Amino acid sequence: MREGDVWEAARGIMQAFNAAAAKFVKEIDGEVELWAASRDWFLEEWGRDTFICLPGLLLATGRYDQAKKSFCVLLPMSKTDYS
């Protein structure tokens, strides 16, 4: 990296962020699972934890299809009527 090349530094940071985020995102049998805090303790996804980490793990890293899959799985379990 050349001294003063801020864009090269930013790309390196984003690559490191994407690599770290990928360790928390699993696709198993066509379903997206976010292995955040709840997964380690309860061996299942919790909607609250999924939606807390979803912006950083899926949206910020450009994983929009996986974010959509997470919404499609968890929203039907919601007690709120969206109609």
Global pTM reads 0.70
Residue 38 has pLDDT above 70, yes or no: no
The pLDDT of residue 4: 66
Q: What is the pLDDT of residues 6-21, one digit of tens each?
A: 677 788 888 998 999 8
**Higher pLDDT pick, 74 / 37:** 74
CA 28 to chain centre: 14
